[in-house]
Amino acid sequence: MSVAVRVIPCLDVDAGRVVKGVKFQNLRDAGDPVELARRYDAEGADELTFLDITASSGDRETTYDVVRRTAEQVFIPLTVGGGIRAVDDVDRLLRAGADKVSVNTAAIARPEFLQEAAHRFGSQCIVLSVDARRVTGDTTTESGYEVTTHGGRKGTGIDVIEWARRGEELGVGEILLNSMDADGTKNGFDLEMLRQVRAAVSVPVIASGGAGALEHFAPAVDSGADAVLAASVFHFGDLKISEVKDALRASGHPVR
């Protein structure tokens, strides 16, 4: 037996409320992240991820409150990402009950932040979230992919492979690899990018972006993903977590 492929639903949370349509039946409040977290837990989610998209810092308290209430009711690992800029932010989220935090923009601005956070709290709770896409125009990188910021709108010219390796060196325990090309297409994960990143690092890699059908998940695992993450296909009820697991199991991958 070996460790199971993790299936991870991601919820976008804005000022304490889940945004993007959620079409669950029989939910008292589909906008309540805690209620949704419980629902996903009951459906067999292996972990949960909250992406905090709260714009105003004044509303951030609500995020801590959501994390606190979730941790009180849901007994599977919880990762929180979005807007984490300082070691103190990490500390507050962990104290509220998060098990891991994912860091994206702040690490690009100042990579040492990853090292400081991993040193203080342990590698196991620091996830490097990477938004990457194929290079376009005059930009070239060895892998053919570059890291982006601003939700994929701005290229940095940094090779995704170099960045993943750097993250590992700085002590992150896991890499969340988001394909900005595949994101929202529902045409499947970017398998080539996954293969390249998998070959470059030895920490777990979570595939994200592009999931649209059951047959998309096993190829991501075949390409080296240790976990698969999706948002809208779960929220809109297109796919159930249990169906994704059945599909993975049918392809010979261990699931919980």
Partner 1 sequence: MSKKIVILDYGSGNLRSAERAVARHGVDVTVTPDWDTAVEADGLIVPGVGAFSACMTGLKSVRGEQIIGRRLSGGRPVLGICVGMQILFAKGVEHGVTTEGCAEWPGTVERLEAPVVPHMGWNTVDAPDQTVLFKGMDAGTRFYFVHSYGVRRWELQPDPMGHLKPPLVTWAEHGDRFVAAVENGALCATQFHPEKSGDAGAELLKNWLSTVE
- Indicate which residues carry an active-site annotation: 12, 131
Task: Map the footprint of partner 1 across residues 166-195, applying CB under 8 A.
Answer: 173-174
Task: Please report whether residue 164 would count as binding partner 1 according to CB under 8 A.
Answer: no
Count how many residues are written for the chain.
Answer: 256
Stretch that binds partner 1, among 32-40, 94-102, 149-157, 215-223 (CB under 8 A): 94-102
Say if strands 174-179 and 126-134 run parallel, antiparallel, or are unpaired. parallel
- The answer to whether 101 and 149 have CB atoms below 8 angstroms apart is no
Kindly tell me which residue out of 43, 203, 240, 251 binds partner 1, with binding defined by CB under 8 A: 203
Q: How many CB atoms lie within 10 A of CB 236?
A: 13
Kindly tell me which residue out of 30, 53, 71, 135 binds partner 1, with binding defined by CB under 8 A: 71
Question: Which DSSP letter does residue 24 get?
Answer: -
The DSSP bridge partners found for residue 149 are: 154
Task: Please report whether residue 226 would count as binding partner 1 according to CB under 8 A.
Answer: yes
Kindly tell me which residue out of 77, 111, 144, 152 binds partner 1, with binding defined by CB under 8 A: 77
Stretch that binds partner 1, among 9-17, 49-57, 71-79, 152-160 (CB under 8 A): 71-79
- The answer to whether 250 and 1 have CB atoms below 8 angstroms apart is no
**Could you give the CA distance from residue 51 to residue 157 in angstroms, rounded to a whole number?**
25
- The answer to whether 117 and 89 have CB atoms below 8 angstroms apart is no
Considering beta carbons, is residue 57 or 202 the nearer one to partner 1? 202
Task: Please report whether residue 35 would count as binding partner 1 according to CB under 8 A.
Answer: no
Task: Map the footprint of partner 1 across residues 46-65, applying CB under 8 A.
Answer: 46
* Residue 7 C-alpha from the chain's centroid: 11
Q: How many CB atoms lie within 10 A of CB 27?
A: 14
Kindly tell me which residue out of 23, 59, 61, 95 binds partner 1, with binding defined by CB under 8 A: 95
Contacts with partner 1, residue ranges (CB under 8 A): 1-6, 41, 46, 68, 71-73, 75-77, 94-99, 121-125, 173-174, 202-204, 226-227, 256
